[in-house]
Structure 1
Amino acid sequence: MNYQTNNPRELAVKTLLRTRGGSYSNLQINAVIESTSMSEVDRGLFTTIVYGVIQHRLTLEYQLAPFLKSPDKTDDWVKELLYTAMYQLFYLDRVPKRAIFDESIKLAKKMGHDGTRRFVTGILHQMDRQGVQDPATISDPTLRLSIKYSLPKWLVSLIKAQLGEQKAIRIFQSLNQAPKQSVRFNRAKITKSALIKQLTEAGFKVEESRVAGEGLIINDGQILHSPFFQKGLLTIQDESAMLPVESMPIHEGEMILDACSAPGGKTTQIAAKLRVGKVIALDIHQNKLKTVLRNAQRLGVADLVETQALDARKVDDVFSDQTFDHILVDAPCSGFGLMRRKPEIRYGKTLADVNHLAQIQLQILEAVAPKVKTGGTMTYSTCTIVQQENQAVIKRFIEKHPDFQIEPTKTDRNLTTTEDGMLTIYPDDFGSDGFFVCSLVKKL
């Protein structure tokens, strides 16, 4: 796509419009960066503004509302332009106010006309004179938290009810912090110590993950376009996302099913642990399986991976009972553990969606359960933090399938599980994604 500009603020406005239309922010940001020739500084400003506006959208909408006499008649792109200016004014320390005003007013004229320029100029100066509403003055406590942390009111209520107000607020505070640059070293090609040495020599600042044994945190430098990534010595994966496979008792030569595999981070992690054997990677979308195979080829484990386009609820059509030593169900979920990395997730879903997903998750577990061998394991994981999709799904499954029992989830770092052995990582615990892992054993 030709964006016809390298202006980071203009590109931010256009990108925000697309994400409002349902596009994923990270994919849009990557597409813009790859299709333009912005400097490194401008790429950073562009990325910061896009993520920042999405993260703080409800707060910014609340603060802009008193200045719009006819909000329904104000073009969406003009609102997005104003949000980008407000985000820079209220959340970025290093950008001078005059530069923010000048750039925003120029953009208003370029993207609109002289009337738009006057409109934007008037609002910015009025806002500068009067100040904006402080969410702390909102009397309704749930609405106050919703506007302050820019989370839907229903989600604030749900997390407060399940985890208590103090824990909920710690989670909310953590969600608008920048995500870490986390990678998994590829044991199929290199040892962890050798990779750390090579990364350090190349000028990257590296530390070991406190969450996952195979995880490394890159504190300085962009790893995605580096030779380390291209040669498959590592892959980008959140620390928490490594835990489901880390907890699986995988041995060489085994047959393993990854029931919901795309984009392939966990599939390739299984394959790297296997060395010999096979991982069957299912996904309902054929095009997503191409990504799984590309990742497997880059990481040098493609000969261990077999993909099949199949809804995991229909495994009976293809596989016999007791086929697999282990099964991973990294289930489709609401994604509320990923809100730091994909901030738009918080706005598009409802409680009805959560309950519907819980039904699908249970259906997948029930469909694949007969396919695991007696004595084998089934690992259930999600990247969400709400109990309807986690503990409640497991409870319902165990009630209907007494031939399975929960085994304490074991991780390399001995992370603490609950009394029933299940593991939940919340976004505030380690600054990683929120994740849930439960290990189930099919009784002998």
Structure 2
Amino acid sequence: MTKFQPQNARELAMVALERVEQNGAYSNLQLDQLLKKYPLADKDRRLATNIVYGVLQHKLTLKYWLNGFVNNRKLDSWVKVLLLSAIYQFHYLERVPDWAVTDESIKIAKRRGNPGIRKFVTGVLHAVLREGLPALDNIENDSQRLSVQNSVPEWLVNELMTQYGKETTAKILRSINEPAHQVIRVNRAKTTVSAVKQVLDNMNIEYHESKVAANALVITKGEVVTSDLFRDGEITIQDESAMLAVESMNIKPSDKVLDACAAPGGKTVQIAAYLSPANGGFVDALDIHQHKVRLIEKNAQRMGVSDRVNAYALDARKVDEQFKDESFDKILVDAPCSGIGLLRRKPEIRYTKQLADSMRLHQIQLSILNAVASKVKKGGIITYSTCTILQQENDATVKAFLSQHPEFKLIKTTTARKVKDGRHSATLTILPSDFDSDGFFISSLKKGL
């Protein structure tokens, strides 16, 4: 990277996006790394963050618009990213004046490229402002139009339409480009919801109670990650939908619980908050990687529940190496999945996944369920959950497991706030459009006596 000005928010955003585009790097990691190396003022930091996530979120839309002005011309990666960033700011950032975007983009082009590139960038940006961006409603093909409008690959649009219908798919796609809420879960092992509310009120942080999950507060204004509440483990950051898997397990203080796919430990510590070591309650948490096991242990320590958490570096498919049959009252399999329910928070997922990934993950999910089936006691429950909304990884995985394990039956998943209790299915699917939360799937598999 040459001629890089570290104090420039737009150029920092461009570098982060270029690395994501070229190397498949995670946007949050790249951005955090650059902001640590090149600290910006708060205002510039917010601008850089907005540009990075905004361009990723709307990338297919922006590329469609850009193509009308460059006529399929092959562009250097950084030039393409620079132009996409500028168009994003023109269209989506109402408070940023067009002249500022144009001026700064041309300066970056001058620093990074030769006079020809500077002239080209100048011409494209002036043409965009002069002619305006083409309307997307004119795209005739339904799946292509929904793909371009919402910046979601056509294969995923087609799959969602097959599974949920056109109307519901349109709602899902619109919702995933809305800003993600910051939600906190109150750690009942250390404090109460009312006590946390009092502290938030004193901090002038605005919030409201979740309609989805118990012990959850949706933050509407203010920052809690740097607060004493977070540092001391009285709260943690967790999406409302993600809280429901553990909530649905109806954990008793004396339960022996296995969290089979645990890292970084958000659900492990949620489980642990219900347990009483004095009554023999504990949770064994597994992850395949040792460094992620340390994350689980660190999380448990911050939340004050390490006395009831045992973390192991172990592939859940090899539980026989560590545990005897019928060792657990309850088991959570929050399985590896495509993450399609998380598109609002992790926009690049939509561009890196393929339908084949879902089918491969289905096999992994099934192998984990098969491995842990013997470890739950008779009358015990395996809770199988994912953060995807693709049925190949959800109901299809549950159906395949039940066909191989007649000793289990599917029972209705219920939650404290009776989320979607009127549904016909025993499994619970939360779509991103249902409550403006992450997409999530939960099922409850009970072992016969």
Which TM-score bucket, shorter chain as reference?
over 0.9
Pairing partner for 1:327 from 307, 320, 331? 331
Pairing partner for 1:367 from 363, 367, 371? 371
**Alignment of 1:296 onto 2:294:** no
Pairing partner for 1:435 from 405, 430, 440? 440
Compare 218-227 and 430-439 and name the one that shifted more.
218-227
Deviation, structure 1 residue 419: 1.9
1:17 and 1:80 in contact (8 A); partners too: yes
Match of 1:49 in 2: 51
**Alignment of 1:215 onto 2:216:** yes
Compare 79-88 and 131-140 and name the one that shifted more.
131-140
1:337 and 1:434 in contact (8 A); partners too: yes
**Alignment of 1:283 onto 2:290:** no
**Alignment of 1:99 onto 2:100:** yes
Rounded Cα–Cα distance in structure 2 between residues aligned with 1:248 and 1:110 = 57
**Alignment of 1:422 onto 2:424:** no
Rounded Cα–Cα distance in structure 2 between residues aligned with 1:148 and 1:206 = 31
Deviation, structure 1 residue 118: 1.4
2:10 and 2:48 in contact (8 A); partners too: yes
Paired letter, 1:57:
K
Deviation by residue 1:159-206 (Cα, 9 ceiling, x = unmatched): 011111111000100011110011111111110110011111111112
Rounded Cα–Cα distance in structure 2 between residues aligned with 1:387 and 1:96 = 44
Deviation by residue 1:292-314 (Cα, 9 ceiling, x = unmatched): 11111111111211111111111
Rounded Cα–Cα distance in structure 2 between residues aligned with 1:408 and 1:171 = 24
Paired letter, 1:288:
K
Deviation, structure 1 residue 328: 0.2
Paired residue secondary structure (1:326):
strand
1:334 and 1:384 in contact (8 A); partners too: yes
**Alignment of 1:315 onto 2:319:** yes
Deviation, structure 1 residue 411: 0.7
1:142 and 1:156 in contact (8 A); partners too: yes
Deviation by residue 1:82-106 (Cα, 9 ceiling, x = unmatched): 1110001011111111111011111
Match of 2:25 in 1: 23
Match of 2:258 in 1: 257
Paired letter, 2:410:
I
Paired letter, 1:395:
K
2:326 and 2:378 in contact (8 A); partners too: yes
Show structure 1 runs of 5+ residues with no match.
none
Rounded Cα–Cα distance in structure 2 between residues aligned with 1:388 and 1:329 = 16
Match of 1:80 in 2: 81
Pairing partner for 1:62 from 54, 61, 64? 64
Rounded Cα–Cα distance in structure 1 between residues aligned with 2:375 and 2:42 = 50
Cα distance change, pair 151–70 in 1 and its aligned pair in 2 (3 A) = closer
Paired residue secondary structure (2:271):
helix
Deviation, structure 1 residue 67: 2.3
In the superposition, the TM-score normalised over structure 2's length comes to: 0.95
Paired residue secondary structure (1:137):
coil
Deviation, structure 1 residue 397: 1.0
Rounded Cα–Cα distance in structure 2 between residues aligned with 1:216 and 1:33 = 29
Paired residue secondary structure (2:392):
helix
Deviation, structure 1 residue 70: 6.1
Paired residue secondary structure (1:135):
coil
Rounded Cα–Cα distance in structure 1 between residues aligned with 2:390 and 2:169 = 11
Paired letter, 1:166:
E
Pairing partner for 1:346 from 343, 350, 367? 350
Rounded Cα–Cα distance in structure 2 between residues aligned with 1:409 and 1:6 = 51
Rounded Cα–Cα distance in structure 1 between residues aligned with 2:434 and 2:405 = 32
Paired letter, 2:50:
T
Matching of residues 33-44 of structure 1 within 5 Å: 33-44=35-46
Paired residue secondary structure (2:377):
strand
Deviation by residue 1:97-125 (Cα, 9 ceiling, x = unmatched): 11110111111112333332212111101
Rounded Cα–Cα distance in structure 1 between residues aligned with 2:220 and 2:31 = 20
Cα distance change, pair 124–396 in 1 and its aligned pair in 2 (3 A) = same
Paired residue secondary structure (1:441):
strand
Deviation by residue 1:324-367 (Cα, 9 ceiling, x = unmatched): 11100000000000000000000101111111101111111111
2:5 and 2:11 in contact (8 A); partners too: no
Deviation, structure 1 residue 416: 1.4
1:406 and 1:420 in contact (8 A); partners too: no
Show structure 2 runs of 5+ residues with no match.
none
Match of 2:386 in 1: 382
Deviation, structure 1 residue 224: 1.4
1:188 and 1:275 in contact (8 A); partners too: no
Paired letter, 2:375:
K
Cα distance change, pair 210–33 in 1 and its aligned pair in 2 (3 A) = farther
Cα distance change, pair 35–412 in 1 and its aligned pair in 2 (3 A) = farther
Match of 2:186 in 1: 185
Paired residue secondary structure (1:389):
coil
1:377 and 1:439 in contact (8 A); partners too: yes
Paired letter, 1:192:
V
Paired letter, 1:140:
N
Matching of residues 166-181 of structure 1 within 5 Å: 166-181=167-182
Match of 1:32 in 2: 34
Paired letter, 1:48:
N
Rounded Cα–Cα distance in structure 2 between residues aligned with 1:291 and 1:113 = 46
Rounded Cα–Cα distance in structure 2 between residues aligned with 1:70 and 1:210 = 47
1:214 and 1:242 in contact (8 A); partners too: no
Rounded Cα–Cα distance in structure 2 between residues aligned with 1:387 and 1:124 = 43
